[in-house]
A and B are shown apart, each in its own frame.
Chain A
Amino acid sequence: MSETILALVENAKVVLNTEKSSLIHTYFEANTACKGIVVQDDTGSPVGLVMRNHFYQKIGTQFGYSLYMNRSIELIMKTEIIKVDVTCDLASFGLKAMNRHENDVYDLVIAMSGDAFVGVISISNFLVAMSEIKQREIELLNNQKRILKEANEQEKQYRLEIEQKNQSIKNLLNNADQGFLSFGETLIISEEISSVSEIIFGRSIPGMHFGELMRHFLRDDMYHLLINSLESMFKQTKKARAKAFLKLLPDRFKTDHRIIQMDYKLIAFNEDKKLMVILTDITDKVTLEQKQQDEKNNMKLVLSAMNNKSEILEAIEAARRFFSKGYKEILATSNQILDCLSEIFRMVHTMKGDFALYAFHNTAVDLHVIEDRLATFLKDIGAVETDAIDHYLESIDFESMIGKDIAIIENFLGEGYCASEKKIAISSAQVELLIQDIEAHYEQYDRAVLIRKIRDLTNPTLNEIIMSYDEYTKILALKLDKTISAFDVKGDLIHINRNDYRGFIKSLIHIFRNIVDHGIELPDSRIENGKSEGGQITCDISECHRAIHLSISDDGKGINPEQIRSKAKEKNLYTAEACEAMTDQEMIQSVFKPDFSTQNKVSMLSGRGVGLYAVKSEVEALGGGITVDSVMGKGTTFKIELPLVKS
């Protein structure tokens, strides 16, 4: 309380000590509100005080009036006056006022400023003022108390809410199927993790280095990419850029028995960057998807196994021969190692195509791996020893490779799928015996008709054979996001002996692969070019002068002669002069050259520069010929002429 008493000072009536009491009386009568009058000496210093109550008490006694009224004020005035300086604070003033002698409890206190009289202060006014101040202070205090109380309650409420939230988040985290963990720039995993995270990793992980934790589950290159990406990510100042690095982090990993998907979320980016990792066990989902895919593949395999049994058994036998001694024979020739390896590579490539055609999915995948390995040998041919190739191929266990697909077939069709092949071989021999019998016992005309009929029973038409590529071609297209809307085979029905054309029939796969891979455009660009969404493939067969004419056309984008020309130059297929001199039509025939491919990428389908050369070789081996016509934007036609072999 540092307020002074200045505000309480009032003016007061002042009289000289030489005046008479009658003057006081006159003044009191005229000013009824006046409670007291200050008496001064001739120096102006206050020497006494006449209070109204006290004055009339004295005057009102029996002799009061005559004793005091017309005599000096000094006789009736109180001389025990209290003087205070106006600089006095309220508390000290209060003390002084309260310490008055109990006989002198008059109301007024004289206020001085230094030696000068300035007025009076009423103690009762002082008390009123004091209680008002007190009241204000109490109100202020109460107010503060209320605010404090409210703030306390608010805080309590907040704390409760946060606790509840934390608890419910923790419950949520612990009860969700997902695991959560987070870490900052140090990659040290924070304390707040969900219990599922620990179940996934099978250990306590807070305090662990995230990189070290993941190291067990990632390939070395992925581990390094993880660490380096995280390091760069935490340095970013812009969230969008940081997110770009997040995309490089591994999106799944495998524990002993489970497959875990990882999603990343940046939290608290501004101050203290933190990354949250969300772990989801997707084992069941992946297993189910894989199972469905396997089942589809299996059904295709079984259907194919029923429809193409003899071809399949022959393909298996050929592959078995190749892996047991065929490749050794090739390596043992005096040819250069490059030629040997190219030949082996071509054979494996064709084998892969055959098994893929027959829906031997597992075998085709394994052969793709072998092909990849051979491709790396080819790339590095200067440094490759024959022994290394021999050693590699020797390490391949063909029986277990083919065994996976055979097991699937036998699971559906019963054991002995491979073993029963001999029966078919016998029955075709029986056909031959039958024909020999007919030849021996029937007249010429009947003989020709009968033999033809028997042959037609065992010999399919070329139409049927080509039609067997229908499904394969369409599936191939789907893998490349393309569509084949029509696969038509029309023309003469020509029965042929499969054995006579076996190599050629197999090689046709390269034509259909080329059509799908290089010819047919993606649906969008087809529509843009005014074509139907799906590609059309048309095969036309005719017989003329003991020759088979087969044309296979597509309505794709055609072959770009300039692209072929630049590729031919790049691969040094011709001399520069010859290259310039060739017409477009001549130039596009280069697609049949060995090692020619316009596709840079190697896919499971084509693009290894083996394909069309294989067709040409087979056609020429039969004494036939193949050409290609193409109109840019309109399509491509392969024209094949083969001699009609009559056994």
Chain B
Amino acid sequence: MARILIVDDSAISRMKLKDIFETDCHEVVGVAEDGLEGIEQFKILKPDLVTLDVTMPNMMGVECLKEIIAIDADANVVMISALGKGDVILDALNAGALNYITKPFEEKQVLKTIREALE
């Protein structure tokens, strides 16, 4: 069981992810609607894992990721992205993201990725 922070500007994505995590007995300790809020929440909550949407208002996911890694180099971050954003994902992985999930989500795929990231 892990403490998870969800950072996503889409309410539907947040809800879906929360559902999926909670059915797998993880605890969603916080949700944030954009990158800036995500960083604030990260500092306060110190979650075990962050899911981070790539495209968000105020601060794009990769920028947000870099800030989080600057705060805690060992932070576990999994990116969430629409299909066809390979370049951005590659940047994110090189910047320290552990893995990524593509939208639309598939429950099994999400849980598999999260478990691998937490191992």
Instruction: Tell me the A residues contacting B by CB distance below 8 Å.
Output: 221-222, 225, 228-229, 232, 240-241, 243-245, 247-248, 481, 522, 524-525
Contacts and interface: CB of A to CB of B under 8 A. Distances in A.
Interface string B60-101: 000000000000000000000000001101100110011110
A221 B90 CA distance: 12
Contact of A240 (B97, B100, B117): B117
Contacts of B104: 481
Contact of B87 (A225, A232, A524): A225
A248 B15 contact: no
A225 B90 contact: yes
Contact of B93 (A244, A481, A524, A525): A244
B94 A247 contact: no
Contact of B90 (A248, A481, A522, A525): A248
A363 B91 CA distance: 38
Contacts of A225: 86-87, 90
A228 B78 CA distance: 20
A232 B96 CA distance: 11
The binding surface of chain A is classed by DSSP as: helix
Given A232-B94, A240-B117, A243-B116, A221 B87 contact: yes
Contacts of B119: 240
Given A241-B98, A245-B93, 16 more contacts: A221-B87, A222-B86, A225-B87, A228-B90, A232-B90, A232-B94, A240-B116, A240-B119, A241-B99, A244-B93, A244-B97, A244-B100, A248-B86, A248-B89, A248-B93, A481-B104
A522 B117 CA distance: 28
Interface residues of B, number: 17
A244 B102 CA distance: 12
16 contacts: A221-B86, A225-B86, A225-B87, A229-B90, A232-B90, A232-B94, A240-B119, A241-B93, A241-B99, A244-B99, A244-B100, A245-B90, A247-B99, A247-B100, A248-B89, A525-B12
A93 B44 CA distance: 91
A265 B110 CA distance: 20
A461 B56 CA distance: 48
Contacts of B87: 221, 225
A530 B119 CA distance: 37
A240 B98 contact: yes
B92 to A, nearest CB: 10
Query: Which of B19, B89, B90 is packed against the most chain A CB atoms within 10 Å?
Result: B90
A522 B13 CA distance: 12
B93 A232 contact: yes
Nearest to A240: B116
A612 B19 CA distance: 33
Contacts of B86: 221-222, 225, 229, 248
Contacts of B94: 232
Contacts of B93: 232, 241, 244-245, 248
A525 B97 CA distance: 30
A3 B119 CA distance: 63
Interface in B5-23: 12, 15, 19
A525 B100 contact: no
Contacts of B89: 248
Contact of B99 (A221, A240, A481): A240
